[in-house]
A and B are shown apart, each in its own frame.
Chain A
Amino acid sequence: MNTSELLTPNMGVFALLGGIAAFGAVGVVAFNNATRSALCLVLTFFTLAFLYFTLTAEMIGILQIVVYTGAIMVLFLFVIMLLNLGALKSLFEDRDPKMLIGGVLGLGMAALLGSQVLAPMAKVTQMRAPEGIGSPQSVGYSLFSTYLYPFEIASVLLLLGIVGSILLAKRRI
C-alpha cells in the first residue's frame, strides 16, 4: 500500500479522533493532579466512543458514553472529591528511577507486541462484517440467545459488586 491510498478523508477523521484519544491518554499519566487526570480520561473515553461509531458499533458507542463517561468517571470524580485530593494535598511525585524503568518497560512491551501483531495484520484493509452488526437489535438478540448464561453470570457479578462496595464504604465494618 503506497501513501496516496492512505490519504483518504476517512483516514483524516480517524487520525483526528485517534490523536485526541492518544493525547488524553498521555494526559492521564502526565498530570500530577488527579482531577486533571480524570478529565483527560473523560476526553479519551468520549473520543473512543466516536471511534466505536466509525467501526459501526453504535450500541457499544452509546454504552461507552453512558457507562464510562457517565457513570464510572463520575464515580472517580466523586471519590477524588471525597478524599479531598486537591492541588495542595495531591501527591508530590518527584523523579525517581521508577519513572525511567517504567518508561523503558512500556516501550519494550509496545515494541514487542507491535512487532509481533501489527506486521501480519498489515494487509487487512476491508471490513468483512456486514452492515448492522452493531445495532441494539442484533446485540440484544445475541446477548439473550447465544450468550444468555454469561449474561446471567455478569448480573451476579454486578450484584456482588453492589454488596461489596456498600460493605466496604460502611463506616464501621
Chain B
Amino acid sequence: MAGVPLVAYLALGLFLFSVGVVGVIIRRNPIVIFMCIELMLNAVNLTFLAFAKYMPSKLPTGTTPVAEASMSGQVMVIFVMAVAAAEVAVGLGIIMAIFRLRKEIDIDEMNLLRG
C-alpha cells in the first residue's frame, strides 16, 4: 500500500516473532509451543513479502529484471509454507505418540528422548 513505510511491516513482523519466542520459552503445553513456532514462521513470511515488495533484490548477475527478482521472496514463502505443513504433521504425530505412552503432555516432564 502506498503511504505505509517498510518499517511498519518490519516492526509488525518483529513483534510477532518476539511473541512467538516468548511463547516457546514460557509455555509448557507442547501444542501451544508448536503454535508459537507457526507464529514465528508467519512473521518471517510477512518480512519476506514486505522486502519483496519494497526492495526487490538484484541477483548476482545484475541482469535480472525487477519483476523477476521480486519473485524470490514470494517463492520462498511458498517453500516455508510447505516445510511448515510437513513439520506440523510430523510434530503433532510425535505429540500423539508421546501422549499415548505417558498420558500427560507437560513438556517440562519430557526430558528423555527414549520416553
Contacts and interface: CB of A to CB of B under 8 A. Distances in A.
Interface of A: 1, 5-6, 8-11, 13-14, 18, 21-22, 25-26, 28-29, 34, 37-38, 41, 44-45, 48, 51-52, 54-57, 59-60, 63-64, 67-68, 71-72, 75-76, 79-80, 82-83, 85, 90-91, 93, 98-99, 101-103, 105-107, 109-110, 113-114, 117-118, 121-122, 124-130, 132-134, 138-139, 142-143, 146-147, 150, 154, 157-158, 160-162, 164-165, 167-169, 171, 173
Nearest to B21: A106
Given A41-B38, A44-B42, A124 B5 contact: yes
Given A41-B35, A48-B46, A11 B90 contact: no
B35 A129 contact: no
**Chain B contact residues, majority secondary structure:** helix
Given A28-B32, A44-B39, A110-B17, 10 more contacts: A48-B46, A54-B4, A55-B53, A57-B74, A121-B10, A129-B70, A133-B52, A133-B70, A160-B86, A165-B92
**Chain A contact residues, majority secondary structure:** helix
Contacts of A21: 12, 16
A114 B13 CA distance: 10
Contacts of B82: 154, 157-158
Interface string B33-68: 011101100100110011011111000000000111
